[in-house]
Structure 1
Amino acid sequence: MPSLIHTYAEMLLARGLAILGSFGVAITTARMLGPVERGRYYYIVTLAAIALQIASLGIQSSNTYLIARTPALLAQIMANSLWLAVLAGVAAAAGVIAFDLAIGGPEQSFMFVAIVMALTPSLLLFLYLSNIAVALNRPRTFNGLIILNGVAAIGAALSASWLAPQLGGFLVAAVVASFVACVVAWAVLAKGVDIPRRFDVGLFRDGIAFALRAHVATLLGFVMGRMSVMVLRQFGEFADIGYWSIAAQIADALLILPSTIGLLLFPALVRAKGPARMQQYKVALLQITLLMALVCTASAVLASPIVTIIFGKAYEPAVAIILALLPGVFFIGVASAASQFLSASGFPWSQVMAWLCGATLQVVLSVALFGQFGAVGLAWIQSASAGFVCVWLLLNSLRSGLSADL
């Protein structure tokens, strides 16, 4: 247990350092661009992130599962990951661009299209590679990669603030940073590994059944977190997205804690059998619940000074959004432990249904109530929907654990 706690601490520290890069980018773009242009920046990056989630196919989860079970598959899994990142990434990017055009999104310039098309595959490849490092039980490699990703992001953003302090300059900087992180991650993981050039269809089929369920659940969870951006784009203003982007940045930072623990917990639960798996899950669930309660309470107290001092008084409307998102952050954090347990137990379709029902509930309430309650109302709806999913997954995991003990 001490070694596991030490590993958790190292990874949390690394993610904390990495998030400083993300915050640095947010602060730089917020200060240099203002709420409206910051909203445009966040909207374009969100489109790329949505495309990433669509294109991932849940392969990062199946890669972790397959490598944890059979490490000899590393070389072919890396080859498959590269092929999928490029082909699926480009296809998904084209799809979200077409969707944005169909719903009457902003005028799409060559820059807009090029950024989404380039950013999606590179983000996807880095996601695959960083998860492979975890599957190989190389947490320090993972730590180094995510720190590098954060350093590259803030370095590129600071360069853009000096060379081209406009929307286009910051978007190009995001692409450059993502490419740098991918090249380094590939070089580190591919060292000494004879990676084939061909795509292994058989291996892809072996993982896709598991990956598909993970993909749908992950995609629905991500949609719940980014759905409000699309609602604001359709019915609100870019300034609203600018305020929301700051609140979302802080919420995403808080979720690093449970997601980091989950990354390490999943391979451990896969290897554990019977009562040992349930015991590990209960310990992790208690730890995450207590930590998230503490972190969310502290964040509620500090939200106002953090926003006004770091981002500026122009972003003060983001404070109310943050306070409304914090219950959802707590629920998603707790739900992450239940999700890892259910995933390690075979990823039942009931887990997918929880996210599907939660996303559907959020869509209906968001569209119906936005006109009356605005962006803050969207945040409360997101938190309530997250609470619904959390309760569903907790009950499902406990029932699954009891069945396994019988």
Structure 2
Amino acid sequence: NLLLGIHRVRSYNAVEIATRSLNVGFLAVLILARSVTVVNVFVAGLAATFLTGAWAFLQVRGVGPGAPRWSRSLFSATVGYGFKAYLVSLFAYLIVRVDLLMVKYMLGATQAGYYSISASVADLLYILPATIGTILFPRISALTDPREKWRLARKSMLATIAVMVPLAIIACLLAKVVVRLLFGRAFLPAVPPFYVLAGAMIFYGANNMIAYLFAALEYPAFSIYAWGVVLVLNMGLNLFFIPQWGIVGAAWSSLVCYLGIFLLELVYVPYYLRRVLGPPTAPAS
């Protein structure tokens, strides 16, 4: 993340690729050595992260003057921001996990397994907006005018929607083939909820750009409350949708919630800018 903050995107990508490659390489060694255990797999992942983390540290070491040192003032200034970011991430994460837990509790482990596959495949669609947001965030943060931040985030949001819609359609067309090849015919019941979750990912991906805007604006309280409300809404909808429509109902609950958070935050942005900056002034004639 420090590499992104200083706009070294290529270095960031290199570290990410190296981490994944080392992880796969270590796992391959464990498989060939017939030493695959939970502990060994964990240690392999930890070793890959440590090695590439050290490499990343060496790349940022010479950026600032002097040696790195503890700063109480910087920690105090950022711990509140970090806690708000944690709450938003936690609520967003729980929406997916609550779906799965409620499906398992209400329908059993088999249906939960199907839904887990649907959600995992849908997560692949989120890689694109997540990547766009990762590159976008340092650029938004570097801007000083909140309205300019919003213009850049809005352009990225519209571009994300334009790409995600055809991508989701293609994914839906290929879903049966992919699930059959990767998991077998027995797991084809995972396909119908994926159709709904693919649509949900469009709104979730678009909202990702607004989320990075709010992150650059130090997380207005509304963004935290909105995710909390949507999480509660998700649980309520699941109580009604899952008994009626099974795992497809759980997927519809996610779609409604992701659409809801997208619309809430989209409507709130202009209000926030007016409240903080006042109405935009007309150019002088």
TM-score band, normalised by shorter chain: 0.7 to 0.9
Report 1:5-404 matches (<5 A). Answer: 131-158=1-28, 169=36, 171-172=38-39, 174-191=41-58, 193=61, 194-195=67-68, 201-274=72-145, 275-402=147-274, 404=277
Distance 2:104 2:23 in 1: 25
Distance 1:302 1:380 in 2: 20
Distance 1:394 1:236 in 2: 35
Greater Cα shift, 265-274 or 384-393? 265-274
Report the AA paired with residue 267 of structure 2: L
1:149–1:205 distance in 2 versus 1, CA, 3 Å: same
* Counterpart contact for 1:342–1:348, Cα < 8 Å: yes
Distance 1:162 1:320 in 2: 38
Report the AA paired with residue 329 of structure 1: M
Give how far 1:387 is off: 0.7
1:172–1:295 distance in 2 versus 1, CA, 3 Å: farther
Distance 2:89 2:228 in 1: 10
> Aligned residue for 2:64?
none
Secondary structure of the residue aligned to 2:218 is: coil
Distance 1:240 1:146 in 2: 34
**Percent of paired sites with the same residue:** 22
Give how far 1:295 is off: 1.3
CA deviation map 1:287-307 (0-9, x unaligned): 111111121111111111111
Give how far 1:242 is off: 2.6
* Counterpart contact for 1:308–1:315, Cα < 8 Å: yes
Distance 2:102 2:122 in 1: 18
> Aligned residue for 1:68?
none
1:160–1:373 distance in 2 versus 1, CA, 3 Å: farther
Distance 1:372 1:156 in 2: 46
Secondary structure of the residue aligned to 1:346 is: coil
Distance 2:111 2:40 in 1: 24
1:326–1:171 distance in 2 versus 1, CA, 3 Å: farther
Secondary structure of the residue aligned to 1:317 is: helix
1:326–1:170 distance in 2 versus 1, CA, 3 Å: farther
Give how far 1:195 is off: 4.9
Secondary structure of the residue aligned to 1:191 is: helix
* Counterpart contact for 2:103–2:250, Cα < 8 Å: no
1:173–1:259 distance in 2 versus 1, CA, 3 Å: farther
Distance 1:212 1:357 in 2: 18
* Counterpart contact for 2:103–2:247, Cα < 8 Å: yes
* Counterpart contact for 1:220–1:355, Cα < 8 Å: yes
* Counterpart contact for 2:241–2:253, Cα < 8 Å: no
Give how far 1:383 is off: 1.1
Alignment gaps of 5+ in structure 1: 1-130
* Counterpart contact for 1:358–1:385, Cα < 8 Å: yes
Alignment gaps of 5+ in structure 2: 62-66, 281-285
CA deviation map 1:382-406 (0-9, x unaligned): 1111111010011112333455462
Greater Cα shift, 217-226 or 274-283? 274-283
1:279–1:212 distance in 2 versus 1, CA, 3 Å: same
1:174–1:388 distance in 2 versus 1, CA, 3 Å: farther
> Who wins on radius of gyration, i.e. which is larger?
2
1:205–1:233 distance in 2 versus 1, CA, 3 Å: farther
Distance 2:44 2:2 in 1: 20
The two structures, once aligned, show a CA RMSD in angstroms of 2.5
> Aligned residue for 2:283?
none
* Counterpart contact for 2:15–2:56, Cα < 8 Å: no
